[in-house]
Structure 1
Amino acid sequence: MDSTPVTLFESYHQDYEHIIRGVKQKLEKDAQEQRGEQRKATLRRVEMDLDSADDLISQLEAEVQGIPTSIRPQYASRARQAKMDLQRYKKLARDMHYKASRADWMDGHNPSSDQPYEDGANERTRLLSGHERLNDASQRLQNSTRLALETEDAGADILRALVVQREQIENARGTLNNADTSIDRASGTIKKMIRQMYKQRFIIASLILVLVIVIIVILYFKLIRH
């Protein structure tokens, strides 16, 4: 199985697009046509799908760091576009949650025309209170989303730092290999020089021995045979 960064990026991106198509169908069609518990169930499925898409975005950003620099920009651009699309659907889902909650509340608390004015004022007060609670919940959700994005950015920075460190280690390993090769070559040269030195010493010793023998022979014939 091919596990290069480019292949993994394409696989994650394909899974992401499949999830986003399902989210778009649920938000723009299914949830618009549904009411009550059926719509709530659809929106819960959308939340789970968006969480899965969020995980895939993190995977895309991680794989981008391992793609060769010559082609990395185009994949980084695709990852950024996917992240922007995800944020847009998250906002659409939050708006849909708000509208659905408000519509369900209104369906269950719609005053009849013959109720007293005071009852209508109370209903309006409860509606405003519910609206404020929804706004608070929406704000908390936005804060949670912002915190998650900051965490993702920190994780991406850590991954980039690890990739840089890995490249530095590989470069250092290559330098050590080159140094080992140079040492081996130098060692071979020194061995050759040592052998050459011993050879020269042997030749010189042989010459000296021959000269000694010649001198002895000459002295023999001059002194003894004379």
Structure 2
Amino acid sequence: MSSMFDSYEREYCDLSTGISRKTQTLSSLSAAEKDPKLQEIQADVAEAKALITRMDLEARSLPVAAKTPLLAKLREYKEDLNKLKRDMTKAAATGVNDEARDELLSRAELGSSLPGFRLFKLLDVSDGPSSSSTSAGQRERLLQTHEQLNMTGDRIRQGKQTLLETEELGVSILQDLHKQRETISHAREHLHDADDSIGRARKVLTSMSRRAMTNKLILALIIMLLLASIGIIIYFKVIKN
């Protein structure tokens, strides 16, 4: 198994646990506290998705025997990440709906003292200065709440867009790094092949050098034998004469 895959896997498991804990506390926060916490969770989710992409690239670079179990793990991690996203969305929506429901319940309690009138009549019909003041205050709070919800939604959309752009950039960088890694691996293989070729050539040259030295020794021995033979022939001719 790849040590790089193991490292990414440990990081993802730690990050997944942290996302789950933060999501559990999200629904109990107020609107002011929820927005930064939600952005933090979204950033963690984007990082977790990037880790899954890295694990995918790392697994696909391995042989088939090692790749198959890792791809099965990746499918489980992708399902886990989708569940974390659903839990985050549910927790965020639950908090917003609770605040809106509380506001509506406060209006319903105020309208219960006026039988025969619907809830929206409280905003339009006054029963004296006190009722008019209360109705105006309720309208102002509702408008403020609606404005805060709209601003929160805009920030969430902007954060989501930023995360998507960052994710696309990260995936592109990871793909480039993977291609560079393959190029380096191919270059390393070529270097090994070249080194083997140089080693074989060195052996051939050493063998040729040894053969040349042997041929020189044999040639020198033959010349010495020839000279000795000529000397013997000349010697016998001189003695006979």
TM-score of the two chains, using structure 2 as the length reference: 0.69
Q: Do structure 1's residue 4 and structure 2's residue 19 form an aligned pair?
A: no
Quote how far apart the aligned CAs of 1:11 are: 2.5
Quote how far apart the aligned CAs of 1:92 are: 2.0
Task: Quote the Cα distance in structure 1 between the aligned partners of 2:179 and 2:72.
Answer: 20
Task: Quote the Cα distance in structure 1 between the aligned partners of 2:74 and 2:161.
Answer: 21
Task: Quote the Cα distance in structure 2 between the aligned partners of 1:20 and 1:94.
Answer: 13
SS at match of 1:176: helix
Structure 2 partner of 1:58: 50
Cα 1:90–1:145 shift into 2, 3 Å: farther
Structure 1 partner of 2:117: none
Q: Is the 8 A contact 1:54 1:86 kept in 2?
A: no
Which moves more between the two structures, 192-201 or 16-25?
Answer: 16-25
Quote how far apart the aligned CAs of 1:224 are: 4.7
Over residues 45-80 of structure 1, what are the superposed CA-to-partner deviations in whole Å (9 max), with x where a residue is unaligned? 963455445434433332333233623432432343
Structure 1 partner of 2:125: 117
Structure 1 partner of 2:207: 192
SS at match of 1:66: helix
**1:90 pairs with 88, 97, 116, which one?**
88
Quote how far apart the aligned CAs of 1:135 are: 3.1
TM-score of the two chains, using structure 1 as the length reference: 0.73
Q: Do structure 1's residue 183 and structure 2's residue 198 form an aligned pair?
A: yes
Task: Quote the Cα distance in structure 2 between the aligned partners of 1:94 and 1:206.
Answer: 100
Task: Quote the Cα distance in structure 2 between the aligned partners of 1:187 and 1:180.
Answer: 10
Give the AA of the match of 2:240. R
For structure 2, list consecutive stretches of 5 or more residues without a partner in the other structure: 115-121, 127-131
Which moves more between the two structures, 62-71 or 213-222?
Answer: 62-71
Q: Is the 8 A contact 2:52 2:77 kept in 1?
A: yes
**2:237 pairs with 218, 222, 225, which one?**
222
Q: Is the 8 A contact 1:62 1:159 kept in 2?
A: yes
Q: Do structure 1's residue 174 and structure 2's residue 207 form an aligned pair?
A: no
Structure 1 partner of 2:175: 160
Quote how far apart the aligned CAs of 1:109 are: 6.6
For structure 1, list consecutive stretches of 5 or more residues without a partner in the other structure: none
Give the AA of the match of 1:117. V
CA RMSD of superposed structures (Å): 3.7
Cα 1:39–1:8 shift into 2, 3 Å: same
Structure 1 partner of 2:152: 137
Quote how far apart the aligned CAs of 1:185 are: 1.9
Quote how far apart the aligned CAs of 1:95 are: 1.7
Give the AA of the match of 1:99. N
Q: Is the 8 A contact 1:13 1:56 kept in 2?
A: yes
**2:166 pairs with 151, 157, 177, which one?**
151
Quote how far apart the aligned CAs of 1:155 are: 0.6
Cα 1:82–1:54 shift into 2, 3 Å: farther
Task: Quote the Cα distance in structure 2 between the aligned partners of 1:98 and 1:81.
Answer: 26
Task: Quote the Cα distance in structure 1 between the aligned partners of 2:34 and 2:142.
Answer: 22
Q: Is the 8 A contact 2:57 2:178 kept in 1?
A: yes
Cα 1:26–1:138 shift into 2, 3 Å: same
Q: Is the 8 A contact 1:65 1:163 kept in 2?
A: yes
Give the AA of the match of 2:190. T
Cα 1:3–1:40 shift into 2, 3 Å: farther
Quote how far apart the aligned CAs of 1:104 are: 4.9
Cα 1:17–1:139 shift into 2, 3 Å: same
Task: Quote the Cα distance in structure 1 between the aligned partners of 2:81 and 2:137.
Answer: 44
